[in-house]
């Protein structure tokens, strides 16, 4: 598959702060990439460099087959064929929905037909004459998307596009935006600090921390095979257990747990809550302590005799009984990862 974007060695410093440290990232044409990371990790800075709104101190950017940033090269934003959607929608309040969408189109073209087509794509047929304030937040976001898609950009970038939306609306708008981007066969980067949003929407997730891409891969790969404890903790709930690795097994409070890699010495054993199985058993190693019930599943906290507390995500039917003993084990299809402990 051809690349829509290729960044190499991007570095950007602001008076004493290194916002990006040697970032390299590829985005394949037609894919939806989520750029996921905590506040201040450099996501917006990377977006601004790709859009041409800022210049890097070092590094190169290619969009399609064109070098847009390199030593002595800086294509201005309007020549990069990149569409941007920001969290505050940034619609022109004094222009109708149709005029907002038409704003991105070159003159001369049959703008009316194209605007109608774009409004249809984003599910806003017949709303072209409304003013932005007459639309809901989710509808405004879709107008912003239609406007960004209007000139058929090579790459569309959405910066925290759902953070202003009511949580009840958010999931529906995410699905809708994903459907529109796929139907348009667009290549898109969605910036987010919300792991659930990244995992559920994207074809690929790039996890960014401290100005570096820590890991890039399919959502399930990043979730089940994080490259570090920090990435594991950032992309979901995780249990961290002290253990001692001897080759392909770790000895810990759970007993002996198999791991894929070969490690020797003290480790942090990482297990997702849904990979821990609980079975009521009066001879079990732990006692049920607490639970959070979500309806579709529940999180049960158990405590071992050593004091260690672990959380297991189980089916809502599991009989929660505080004080009762349970057997705790890695489920047969569950993954456990061991990372050598550096502090001992």
Residues that bind ligand ATP (CB under 6 A): 14-15, 17, 19, 37, 39-45, 193
- Looking at the Cβ atoms of 105 and 212, the one nearer to ligand ATP is 212
Shortest reach from residue 211's CB to ligand ATP, in Å: 7
What three-state secondary structure class fits 224? helix
CA distance 84 to 155: 9
Directed axis angle between helix 111-121 and helix 137-149, to 10°?
A: 130
- DSSP 8-state secondary structure symbol assigned to residue 3: E
Q: Residue 58 in contact with residue 41, Cβ under 8 Å?
A: no
- Looking at the Cβ atoms of 231 and 302, the one nearer to ligand ATP is 231
In this structure, the number of other CB atoms found within 10 A of the CB of residue 31 comes to: 19
CA distance 309 to 93: 53
Shortest reach from residue 283's CB to ligand ATP, in Å: 48
Q: Residue 246 in contact with residue 264, Cβ under 8 Å?
A: yes
Pairing between β-strand 32-36 and β-strand 188-192 as defined by DSSP bridges: parallel
- Looking at the Cβ atoms of 40 and 334, the one nearer to ligand ATP is 40
In this structure, the number of other CB atoms found within 10 A of the CB of residue 239 comes to: 21
- Looking at the Cβ atoms of 6 and 13, the one nearer to ligand ATP is 13
Kind plus residue range of the DSSP H or E element containing 293: strand 286-293
Q: Residue 298 in contact with residue 322, Cβ under 8 Å?
A: no
Q: Residue 252 in contact with residue 241, Cβ under 8 Å?
A: yes
- Looking at the Cβ atoms of 37 and 219, the one nearer to ligand ATP is 37
Shortest reach from residue 259's CB to ligand ATP, in Å: 33
- Looking at the Cβ atoms of 18 and 152, the one nearer to ligand ATP is 18
Shortest reach from residue 322's CB to ligand ATP, in Å: 39
Shortest reach from residue 202's CB to ligand ATP, in Å: 17
Shortest reach from residue 42's CB to ligand ATP, in Å: 4
């Amino acid at each position: 598959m051809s690349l829509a974007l290729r960044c190499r060695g991007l570095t950007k410093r602001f008076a004493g702060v290194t916002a990006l440290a040697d970032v390299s990232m590829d985005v394949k044409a037609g894919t939806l990439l989520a750029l996921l990371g905590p506040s201040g990790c450099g996501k917006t800075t990377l977006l601004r460099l790709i859009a041409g709104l800022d210049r890097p101190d070092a590094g190169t950017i290619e969009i399609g087959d064109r070098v847009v940033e390199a030593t002595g090269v800086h294509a201005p934003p309007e020549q990069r064929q990149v569409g941007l959607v920001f969290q505050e929608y940034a619609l022109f309040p004094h222009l109708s929905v149709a005029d907002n969408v038409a704003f991105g189109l070159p003159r001369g073209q049959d703008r009316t037909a194209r605007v109608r087509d774009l409004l249809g794509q984003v599910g806003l047929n017949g709303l072209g004459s409304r003013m932005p304030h007459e639309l809901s937040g989710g509808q405004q976001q879709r107008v912003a998307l239609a406007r960004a898609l209007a000139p058929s950009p090579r790459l569309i970038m959405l910066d925290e596009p759902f953070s202003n939306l009511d949580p009840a609306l958010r999931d529906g708008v995410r699905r809708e935006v994903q459907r529109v981007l796929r139907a348009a066969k667009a290549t898109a980067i969605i910036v987010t600090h919300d792991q659930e949003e990244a995992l559920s929407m994207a074809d690929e997730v790039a996890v960014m921390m401290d100005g570096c891409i820590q890991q890039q891969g399919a959502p399930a790969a990043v979730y089940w095979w994080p490259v570090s404890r920090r990435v594991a903790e950032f992309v979901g709930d995780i249990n961290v257990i002290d253990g001692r690795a001897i080759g392909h097994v770790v000895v810990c409070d759970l007993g002996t747990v198999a791991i894929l890699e070969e490690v020797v010495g003290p480790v942090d054993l990482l297990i997702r809550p849904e990979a821990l199985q609980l079975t009521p058993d009066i001879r079990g190693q732990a006692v049920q302590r607490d639970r959070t019930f979500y309806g579709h599943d529940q999180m049960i906290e158990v405590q071992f005799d050593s004091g260690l507390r672990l959380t297991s995500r189980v089916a809502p039917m599991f009989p929660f009984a505080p004080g009762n003993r349970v057997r705790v084990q890695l489920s047969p299809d569950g993954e456990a990862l061991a990372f050598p402990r550096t502090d001992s």
